Amino acid sequence: MELSTQLIHTSNVKHESGAVTPPIVLSTTFERGEDGLSFPEGYIYSRYDNPNRHSLEQKLALMENSAACISFSSGLAAATAVFQSLKSGDHIVLPDDAYFSMYSILDHLFVNFGLTYSRVDLTNLEQLQASIQPATKLIWMETPSNPLLKVTDIEAVVAIAKQHNCFTLVDNTWATPYYTQPLEMGVDIVLHSTTKYLGGHSDILGGALMFRETNERYEFIKNVQKYGGAVPSPYDCWLLCRSLTTFTARMTVHSNNALQLAQYLEQHPKIEKVLYPGLASHPQHTVAKKQMKNGYSGMLSILVKGNRADVLKLAGQLQLFAHATSLGGVESLVEHRKSVEGDASPTPDNLLRVSVGLEHINDLVADFEQALQSV
């Protein structure tokens, strides 16, 4: 069966009434068997597992063709669990323009744990090779990256990681499994902020890790979920399973809209540059064509001709694009990342990050047209 069919019909919680829509199981605890020791339905306590979370994790594992999935209450909780699986003295290679909270986690939460990291342009394989130390254990990829949309050659980085006995992780939030399958390229772990495209409606907070194999690191991170307790609620799991039934249909529109908007903006005289992997002008367009299937997802960034005041004015003049944080929802969003990340951020001051939603493309183009007149 195709993915769209599987997401609708695979691993749904059944109800004795025969209800077509799976129920929400809110119970925090479950009955023992008559022997007083066994749990016939396989559930003990909702922090350990829950029917809705079990269904969600099976669907997410299916999407990435993974051996197993572990879900969390947020994408950052999932990332933190990976860092917890490392040992004091270990070194991490991070992209030089990764989501800024990755650095915040290491700088603030792990400052006393003896982990170190280097920020590297992963599109430069020579720079990557030079950055690897004897203590390097993890190469963290984010492709396309946030917010500069750099596209990392996953297979090339995996080959380098294997030379140095490092494990690899890809944050696949922006590309989604509809466009990129990192585990098939040899990656060890895939991370998702399920808040974004997988949830798709800006009403769910969640995260997940998908594993190529259920090894010792998987078992450790499973215990982080189990004992740490940063698990998604049954209702959030149910909402996310509901959202996944429309995932493939939504992603097609996101991608088509983003490409058409990028093509329009690239020709506009008030736009300095458009960053979108689907454009031939993108520096890693060839890599994107090789490893992204079906399209290039729904995120782009634009560099506006002007200063910060001009850029913020443009964002404020947009009417359909809400000036707000986050991405991947049905509604279009725009954000000035530099003001969010702070003065130390390498993000250009004239950059706007754009999450292209499901509105009609003619309306989205018209919104930018009227707003650009104000710059």
The set of catalytic residues is: 47, 99, 171, 196
Residue 170 in contact with residue 142, Cβ under 8 Å?
yes
Residue 305 in contact with residue 272, Cβ under 8 Å?
yes
- Which tokens is 301 given? 């960034």
The length of the chain in residues reads 375
**CA 142, 143, 147: angle at the middle one, nearest 5?**
80
Q: Would you tell me how many other CB atoms lie within 10 Å of the CB of residue 269?
A: 7
With both helix axes pointing from N to C terminus, report the angle between 75-84 and 216-228 in degrees, rounded to the nearest 10. 120
